[in-house]
Amino acid sequence: MSSQVTLTLNSAFRVAPVRRRTFGAFVEHLGRCVYTGIHEPDHPSADDQGFRTDVLELTRELGVSSVRYPGGNFVSGYRWEDGVGPLEQRPVRHDLAWHSSDPNTVGLDEFMAWAKKADVEPMYAVNLGTRGVQEALDVLEYANAPAGTALSDQRVANGHADPYKISMWCLGNEMDGPWQIGHKNAEEYARVATESARAMRMEDPNLELIVCGSSNSSMPTFGAWENTVLTEAYEFVDMVSAHAYYSEKDGDQASFLASADDMDYFIDSVVATADHVGAKLKSDKRIMVSFDEWNIWYQHRAESRPPSGDDWPVAPVLLEDIYSAMDAVVFGNLLISLLRHSDRVASASLAQLVNVIAPIMTEPGGRAWKQTTFHPFALTSRHAQGEVLQVNVEAPSFENQRFGTSASADAVATWDEDSGDLTVFVVNRDASGVLDLGVDLSSGGFGDLELVEALTLHHEDPYAANTADAPDTVAPQENASVAMTDGRLSGELPAISWSIIRLTRTTA
């Protein structure tokens, strides 16, 4: 059974320019993300600094713009100074967040070297869990101050003469969560975040500072937390964070497929709350959203259970979720939501990059391969260019427990006026059947368009996944049904599918 989905696009429906920072990711000292993920000195592909070049290549292919580091829950117990200086003097510490041991072989300097090779902008999180204002100032001095101070001279002595000029700084991580080391209530966090931000700005007024928002939209303090924290920190910060993870729970596939509805709601609510605070404070300033953790994550599976008892392993297998075709479709839809909100989402970080709920997987000493989610990320990052366009979607709806009803299709587009490239990202998130796509592009102000490419990610088994032995089981395929005739785009979108349709102008 098929039904019709009609998209209305117009070159005037502009949301904001595409922001490269939408395509950020996250590297945490967690499981095998750092050790045997980005860094494995004994690996055949390792370079002279111990970085896996196969992972570096995949990171570049993924199109990652910025990377948040070093956590995550990890950062709330982390001492940054353990990770700098001569390797043989670095201590091994227990990481309480993930019940692991950290040899501190990788720290700030190694991460910055890796970021340069990966061609990504760093985003650094300070510890406001067990630490506070002084830690924030110290790590800022070590990273960014020109030579001539105690800590910047330590950096120079460690072989890094030039300041790193890290611009984006997260003021702690998920401080609203009772699981966080040094968890605080909103008032307590508002104080330490504001005072850290104020002091950091004394060192450098141009930093971009991100205050912790809510760990997800279901937190009991959601909304009130942002209100309290921003009321105090408003003047000193640029962005408020949002985190969200989605998964199919208790076999409720329909609600899972509609997950982007929650992301839309989450972003809209944070923006509304931030603007409410701005109005209260009579401020013209607009606080932006840093969606600095988002992904599919099956949190309740065994893969996410940390070691326990006397077992404190280095780099244990943790959070190594294997993603299905359906996961990739929902994931692609989350990217659609992020792009659609480019007017207020200034930065986003896919959590995480390698091995830990990641698009890139590695075997210690062995292969690296792409998960299903690699593909929508790489294609969106590569082809979302120019301005984001709001797309009006007329589609049937499907019922689900979480949202009541949701539209069967969701879409966003980007339009690059200079090159004439129009790119449509569209999902059929209804399990019940094919959607017949219809888009009248003759009067949208795009000129005459021709089809460049239509790719669809779909698998007849929505639970099919990629493995190291079969890494291409789920990958985008040409969608031969998509055609452009007399200014009208048409095609078939299979049930549970994500598509990218690329068009370009043929006339000026």
**Residues involved in catalysis:** 174, 293
Q: Of 238, 261, 262, 293, which lies in the binding site for ligand AHR, with binding defined by CB under 6 A?
A: 293
Binding mask 366-405 for ligand AHR (x = CB under 6 A): ----------------------------------------
CB of 213 to ligand AHR, least distance (A): 12
Q: Which residue of the chain is nearest ligand AHR when measured via CB? A: 72
Q: Applying CB under 6 A, does 76 fall inside the site for ligand AHR?
A: no
Residue in the block written with tokens 């007329």: 394
> How many other C-beta atoms are found inside a 10 Å radius of the C-beta of residue 481?
15
Report the alpha-carbon distance of residue 429 to residue 408 in Å, rounded: 5
Q: DSSP alpha helices (H): ranges in 8-159?
A: 53-62, 108-118, 133-144, 150-157
CB of 176 to ligand AHR, least distance (A): 11
Stretch that binds ligand AHR, among 67-75, 139-147, 219-227, 360-368 (CB under 6 A): 67-75
Residue in the block written with tokens 């709350």: 273
User: In the numeric block, which tokens belong to residue 303?
Assistant: 């893969």
Q: Applying CB under 6 A, does 102 fall inside the site for ligand AHR?
A: no
Site for ligand AHR in 305-364 (CB under 6 A): 351-352
Q: Applying CB under 6 A, does 28 fall inside the site for ligand AHR?
A: yes
Report in angstroms the alpha-carbon separations of 119 from 7, 19, 358. Answer: 36, 16, 19
CB of 74 to ligand AHR, least distance (A): 6
Total binding residues for ligand AHR by CB under 6 A? 10
Stretch that binds ligand AHR, among 8-16, 71-79, 127-135, 146-154 (CB under 6 A): 71-79
| Residue 483: partners with Cβ closer than 8 Å, 6 or more residues away | 451, 489, 490, 491
Q: Which is nearer to ligand AHR, 141 or 174 (CB)?
A: 174
* CA-closest candidate to residue 159, choices 94, 108, 210, 196: 108
Q: Applying CB under 6 A, does 65 fall inside the site for ligand AHR?
A: no
CB of 315 to ligand AHR, least distance (A): 15
Q: Of 22, 73, 400, 456, which lies in the binding site for ligand AHR, with binding defined by CB under 6 A?
A: 73
CB of 28 to ligand AHR, least distance (A): 5
Q: Of 37, 72, 122, 494, which lies in the binding site for ligand AHR, with binding defined by CB under 6 A?
A: 72
Q: DSSP alpha helices (H): ranges in 204-320?
A: 224-233, 253-257, 259-280
Report the alpha-carbon distance of residue 20 to residue 284 in Å, rounded: 25
Q: Applying CB under 6 A, does 292 fall inside the site for ligand AHR?
A: no
CB of 247 to ligand AHR, least distance (A): 13
Stretch that binds ligand AHR, among 65-73, 135-143, 276-284, 447-455 (CB under 6 A): 65-73
Report the alpha-carbon distance of residue 423 to residue 416 in Å, rounded: 9
Q: Which is nearer to ligand AHR, 358 or 493 (CB)?
A: 358
* CA-closest candidate to residue 200, choices 112, 261, 140: 140
Q: Applying CB under 6 A, does 174 fall inside the site for ligand AHR?
A: yes
471: burial class by Cβ within 10 Å (0-12, 13-18, 19+)? middle
| Residue 323: partners with Cβ closer than 8 Å, 6 or more residues away | 296, 331, 371, 372, 373, 465, 466
> How many other C-beta atoms are found inside a 10 Å radius of the C-beta of residue 420?
19
Report the alpha-carbon distance of residue 344 to residue 350 in Å, rounded: 17
Q: Which is nearer to ligand AHR, 79 or 502 (CB)?
A: 79
Q: Point out which residues bind ligand AHR (CB under 6 A).
A: 28, 30, 71-73, 173-174, 293, 351-352
